Structure 1
Amino acid sequence: MQLSPVATLPHRLSRRGGDVLPGVLLTAAIALVATGIGAIFPVLGSAVPAIVIGVILSVLRPHLMRHHERADALIQPGIAYSGKFLLQLAVVLLGVQLSIGSILQVGLESLPIMLSSLLACLLGAWWIGRALRVERRLTTLIGVGTGICGASAIAAVSPVIGAVSAEIAYAVSTIFLFNILAVVLFPMIGHALNLDPHTFGLLAGTAINDTSSVVAAASVYSTAALGFAVVVKLVRTLMIIPISIGLSVMEARRHADGQKLDGSRIAKLVPWFLIGFVVVAAVNSTGIIPDGPRDLLVHASVFLIAMALAGIGLSTDIPALRRSGWRPLALGGILWALVTVTSLATIAITAALR
């Protein structure tokens, strides 16, 4: 009996593959179209067209699938799979462009910007949230989502503060809205300020909320900015741990129902793709990956990113944003602008001090 899980593993994997295949094929088709658009208009890349096509289809989906509920249900698992797992896998593969030494160097360089923008965001959330009369838990979710890493941070701290599903959904939707705006606006800001790829990668990695949007914005700006932006963003993700611990202590003091963090939960807060990214970078540091396979893996990661963003676009709930009040949305916008300005100011100050 103990071997039954192992014995049924091939069947379970096959079944899982069958469940996600229709939706994955849809996101792959969108990624192919987006790649073609990016080839015609290199400034767009494949990331922006993929997410735009996904959002458009998301709006049209209720009308297109009105009499095809079964088909709609059939593609949903693959859409979710593309928007989450394939993005994480793409980030892991991006590790072939870096080495452990560069990761440590990037972390040291970006730490002042990360800490200053995070502090400004959390203090701003506390003060502006109270001024706008936004509920405490929702303010916290939007604050950590904006200051750290979007939906990942929201998911990590939600059980710590006892957030309900409606608050989580609103926070994620709010963060995602400004993620989409960041993909469009940040490359414009970078070009307007004449930022080099290295500096833009630092800005994108410290000021854009979610990994998908960091990758998309950096891809649009330049290939040279992409790898650096991802490393900065992944280092920033580690801020989930101390923030979650601090919130756990605060909640435990506030009421007995606050969920405390033990060692196992702290370990679970470190995303698996962060570990995978470091492992791939470590392997690449040894020099054993030839140039040909390395280039192939880089191209594969870019295509997977387009698939992932197509899945995220297809999952966008536009009506939910319309139904929600304007105050939390205003809070998210103000914090987003505050983080961007703080990051730019800190980058300028640190550059001047060198």
Structure 2
Amino acid sequence: MRLLPGIAVAAGGLALAYLAHLLLPAVPILTFCVLFGLILGQIPAAKPALDAALKPGLALAARRLLRIGIVLLGLSLSLVDIVDLGAPTLIAVVVVVALTFFGTLALGRLARLPGDQPLLIAAGFSICGISAIGAMSAVTRSKPSDIAVPAALVTLCGSLAIAVLPLLQAPLGFSNLQFGAWAGASVHDVGQVVAVAQTAGASALALAIAVKLTRVILLAPLVAGVGLYRRRTESGGPDAAVAARPPVVPLFVAGFLAAMLARTVLPVPEIALQTASVVQTVLFGLALVALGSSIRIGSLVRTSGRSLLVGLASWVLVAALAWVAVVLTTA
């Protein structure tokens, strides 16, 4: 029963986000979820409840429900579609993800962002936004405030991409297919990729989704690599308790891989895929309301400006690298 109040508040924020999305379809539901959660977190009268009665349910939404949503994300992936892209495109995607991740990580550390923010921003911008941040935070065991700021940044920049990227197709001289590949290689969230790429037609949208899902597949090895690094550097030596070490591959990441393999080798009914997509959106929405409510703008004044600059720089970096990759692979 102690979980219900927080879950109910998160559900209320999700419902408001859905209504706002109906009024402004160009703005994704998840963007509104972050916004409403952020507003809730700044209401003085709400803060005592957020820190007490609502805290257990919101914590459940921000962590466990987010991880279940990541597992369901695996059902959107088919290895057959990824292989069909061809070796040059696959190599280009891996290179873009690697350079964006390490480049953003370096920017975050150079800006002296607190806690795990540099790592989480790097994961979110290089791979798949909120999903990657949630997966990485399970390994880093990050504080809610360290998770919430990167989540807000990838949501903001992904929303900006919806408005900005279609305007750049003609100036960059991209064909529809080139634009689709660029959108898939540079935009953070799958839903945002769809919103951007659909402006160039069905073929561009199909290619964008395939490229984007290739990036999503890299989530598992990246999380595993960071988990292994954390075990070696933070275990406290050979005599440290094994239980204190972060997991190499969290259970939900294994679930993500299992769902992806099931989609590849089994005839999953379309209704099941559609249902999983809706449930995934609901779970992500609940998590984002909870994460947004954990942000205290007053306590982040000193770092939020630097975080915003790092996020914008990472957005430009991934877009530029993706542009180079598209030009080189389609020349």
TM-score, structure 1 normalization: 0.67
State yes or no: 1:65 paired with 2:52: no
Aligned to 2:64: 85
1:321 to 283, 300, 305: 300
Of 93, 99, 124, which aligns to 1:119? Answer: 99
Which structure 2 residues correspond to residues 1-354 of structure 1 after superposition, within 5 A?
Answer: 18-60=1-43, 63-65=44-46, 69=48, 72-102=51-81, 109-119=89-99, 122=102, 126=106, 134=112, 141=119, 145=123, 149-150=132-133, 152-153=135-136, 156=139, 172=147, 175-194=150-169, 199-204=182-187, 208=188, 214-215=189-190, 217-218=192-193, 220-221=195-196, 229=212, 232-242=215-225, 268-324=247-303, 330=309, 333-352=312-331
For 1:229 and 1:286, how far apart are their aligned partners in 2? 20
Which consecutive residues of structure 1, in runs of 5 or more, have no partner in the other structure?
1-17, 159-164, 209-213
Deviation, structure 1 residue 284: 3.4
How many Å separate the matches in 2 of 1:340 and 1:154? 24
Quote the sequence identity (%): 19
Residue identity opposite 1:188 in structure 2: A
Look at both structures and tell me which one has the larger radius of gyration over its CA atoms. 1
1:314-344 per-position Cα deviation (integer Å, ceiling 9, x unaligned): 1223223213486676556544533442233
1:184, distance to aligned residue in structure 2 (A)? 2.0
Contact map agreement 2:101 2:126 (CA 8 A) in 1: yes
More deviation, 179-188/18-27: 179-188
Tell me the amino acid that sits aligned with residue 46 of structure 2: M
Secondary structure of 2:330's aligned partner:
helix
Q: Given the superposition, is the C-alpha separation of residues 152 and 45 from structure 1 closer, same or farther in structure 2, using an over 3 Å criterion?
A: closer
Cα distance change of structure 1 residues 70 and 301 upon mapping to structure 2, 3 Å threshold: closer
Tell me how far apart the structure 1 counterparts of residues 213 and 293 of structure 2 sit (CA, whole Å): 23
Distance 1:107 1:59 in 2: 48
Distance 2:82 2:241 in 1: 28
Q: Could you tell me how far 1:278 is from its partner in structure 2?
A: 2.8
Gaps of 5+ in 2: 170-175, 199-204
Structure 1 residue matching 2:249: 3-state secondary structure: coil
Structure 1 residue 37 displacement after superposition: 2.2
Q: CA RMSD in A?
A: 4.4
Distance 1:43 1:257, change over 3 A: same
Map Cα deviations across residues 27-51 of structure 1 (whole Å, 9 max, x no partner).
Answer: 1121122122223332223211111
Q: 1:49 to 1:349 in 2, by over 3 A?
A: same
CA distance in 2, matches of 1:124, 1:70: 36
TM-superposed CA distance for 1:311, in Å, is 1.6
Measured after TM superposition, the shift of residue 266 of structure 1 is: 9.8
In 2, the alpha carbon distance for the partners of 1:337 and 1:193 equals: 13
Secondary structure, aligned partner of 2:102 = helix
Distance 2:5 2:237 in 1: 41
Q: Given that residues 248 and 258 in structure 1 are in contact (C-alpha distance below 8 angstroms), is that contact kept between their aligned partners in structure 2? A: no
Letter in 1 for 2:155: I
Q: 1:329 to 1:189 in 2, by over 3 A?
A: closer
Amino acid at match of 1:232: R
- CA, structure 1 residues 330+116, in 2 after alignment: closer, same or farther (shift >3 Å)? same
